[in-house]
Amino acid sequence: MDKIIIVGNQPLKGSVAISGAKNAVLPIMTAALLADGVSHIHKVPDLRDTRTMVRLLEMVGAKTTYKNGTLSIDARGVDTPVAPYELVKTMRASFYVLGPLLSRLGVAKVSLPGGCAWGPRPVDFHLKGFEKLGAEITLESGYIQAKSKRLKGNNIRFDFPSVGATGNILMAAVTAKGTTVIENAAREPEIVQLARYLNKMGANISGIETDVLTIEGVEGLSPADITVIPDRIEAGTFLMAGAALGEVTLTDVEPSHLDIVLDKLDEAGATVSVGQSTITIKHGDVIKPVDMTTGVYPGFPTDLQAQWISLMTIADGSTVVTDTVYKDRFSHIPELTRLGANLQLENNTVFVRGQKFLIGAPVMSTDIRASASLVIGGLIAKGTTEIGRIYHLDRGYERLEEKFKKLGAVITRESE
């Protein structure tokens, strides 16, 4: 296993190119299974999660090549409707294959992502949606079995605008017989791009960018090419580091996907300037404490909650941060505390008391965004920080330490 070593408190300066969005490319990769041909996806980041998804696509019978950021998926040989536990347990997004396999093969056997269908990180919205489309769903020793000769359009209303459930049901509804209306659909940019990609493949989806999606079922889809949108969460991660430590310009970024984040950084005293596909952030004299509550898009992303807390650990005052999307996404709190942060967790709210500085220490990654918050904490802290188990980080960030090194950070990767 690898670890990252940081000698912190160095100024950051320069520009960094943002990679394609992990959470857009993963469902787009599974959508390619719907077409009996070869699709080309451009600006695919080289991540553990995209490599895991490639393995899954090949397990179900697709062939793939990946060169210079372009992933080609030949889905002509898709014939195996099974996503095994040993793979799904490493990446919840594997569950996205259920819709395409069900639509393409009329059957799908996908392991539960972890916990149970109704437990932590449940998939009940997905399953109820598939049943509404006429699929027969059974649960057998940790696997979801879904069957349907031909899915039929129906009206579906999500209790919560789930990103994954919206994507999965979309990919099943596009070739269902008749009309499907999804109410309370997710509006995240990644789902917007998935819907646009499906339409490029010949689907008939309207209401894109709204929370009501109407899908007229079509007979079949054809392969299509697409360039993945920039990763707004990677961009936000760099913005928070820049707000603390220097002057950083992001290129190949979509500023409109980060409106609320830019507003909050401005409130915190950073100077933000926006170009067509660039954002420049310059740290302020002090970091002002700014309360934040996460929300579904266009709210403040839960995937930037941990990174925001890292920034607020050295704010000139106290901050209250609440996550309304995940009530239990706080494994980074004890680790940031090891760096000297003053944090109080109560249910899904963190009370942050700003300190003058953090002090480097050995810490442990626990999930993708928690590890990103520890990198920011290590960059801020005086002295040396060692971050263990960074395979979590590598699931969602492409060579993050190299990108920070280019900005002047003293940061290296070593094997543990």
The CA distance from 34 to 73, in Å, is 11
Answer yes or no whether residue 172 interacts with ligand EPZ by CB under 6 A.
no
Cα separation, 173 vs 135, whole angstroms: 11
Report residue 111 as tokens.
């392991």
* Rg (alpha carbons) of the chain, rounded to whole number: 21
Region for 132 from its dihedrals, namely left if φ exceeds 0, alpha if ψ lies in -120 to 50, beta otherwise: alpha
Give whichever of 92 and 282 is closer to ligand EPZ, judged by the CB atom: 92
**SS3 state at 38:** strand
Provide the pairing of β-strand 205-206 with 2-7. unpaired
Stretch touching ligand EPZ by CB under 6 A, among 75-83, 120-128, 218-226, 305-313: 120-128
> Under the criterion CB under 6 A, does residue 257 sit at the interface with ligand EPZ?
no
How is residue 20 annotated by DSSP?
B
Contacts of 305 (CB under 8 A, 6+ apart): 292, 294, 321, 323, 329, 369
CB of 296 to ligand EPZ, least distance (A): 7
**Which region, judged by CB under 6 A, interacts with ligand EPZ, from 8-16, 68-76, 98-106, 117-125?**
117-125
Spatial CA neighbour of 45 closest among 17, 21, 16 = 21
Residue of closest CB approach to ligand EPZ: 164
The DSSP call for residue 118 is T
Site string for ligand EPZ, 280-319 (x = CB under 6 A): ----------------------xx----------------
Min dist. Cβ of residue 136 to ligand EPZ (A): 18
CB of 368 to ligand EPZ, least distance (A): 4
* Contact residue for ligand EPZ among 20, 45, 61, 164 (CB under 6 A): 164
Question: By CB under 6 A, is residue 165 in contact with ligand EPZ?
Answer: yes
Token pair, residue 8, equals 């912190």
Site for ligand EPZ in 341-380 (CB under 6 A): 368-369
Coil vs helix vs strand at 224: coil
In the complex with ligand EPZ, which residue's Cβ is closer, 26 or 253? 26
**Spatial separation of the C-alpha atoms in residues 53 and 41, rounded to whole Å:** 13
Choose which of 9, 19, 23, 313 interacts with ligand EPZ (CB under 6 A): 23
Least distance from C-beta 300 to ligand EPZ, angstroms?
11
CB closer to ligand EPZ, 138 vs 412: 138
| Interface stretch with ligand EPZ, choices 124-132, 271-279, 309-317, 382-390 (CB under 6 A) | 124-132
Of 160 and 351, which has the nearer Cβ to ligand EPZ?
160
Question: Element (H or E) spanning 415, and its range?
Answer: strand 410-415
Per CB under 6 A, 121 contacts ligand EPZ: yes
Binding mask 386-415 vs ligand EPZ (x if CB under 6 A, - otherwise)? Answer: ----------x-------------------
The CA–CA distances, whole Å, from 335 to 21, 281, 373 equal 27, 27, 10
Beta carbon nearer to ligand EPZ, 164 or 354: 164
Among 5, 38, 82, 116, the active-site one is 116
Beta bridge partners of 155: 181
Quick one: how far is CA 402 from the chain centroid?
21
The answer to whether residues 73 and 38 touch, using CB atoms and an 8 Å cutoff, is: yes
Q: What is the 3-state secondary structure (H, E, C) of 273-302?
A: EECCCCEEEECCCCCCCCCEEECCCCCECH
Q: For ligand EPZ, which residue of 13, 40, 42, 92 counts as binding (CB under 6 A)?
A: 92
367 counts as catalytic:
no
Toward ligand EPZ, which CB reaches closer, 341 or 368?
A: 368
Name beta bridge partners: 353.
318, 342
Helix (H, G, I), strand (E, B) or coil at 318: strand
The residue within the footprint of ligand EPZ, chosen from 97, 101, 125, 238 (CB under 6 A), is 125
Q: Max CA-CA distance within the chain? A: 63
Q: Exactly one of 162, 180, 237, 373 binds ligand EPZ (CB under 6 A); which one?
A: 162
Candidates 71-79, 115-123, 377-385, 397-405: pick the segment binding ligand EPZ (CB under 6 A): 115-123
Whichever of 8 and 113 has its CB closer to ligand EPZ, that residue is 113
With the C-alpha atoms ordered 63, 65, 71, 72, is the resulting torsion angle positive or negative? negative
Least distance to ligand EPZ, CB of residue 246, Å: 25
Contact positions vs ligand EPZ (CB under 6 A): 22-23, 26, 92-93, 121-126, 160, 162-165, 302-303, 325-326, 368-369, 396
Q: Which residues are catalytic?
A: 116
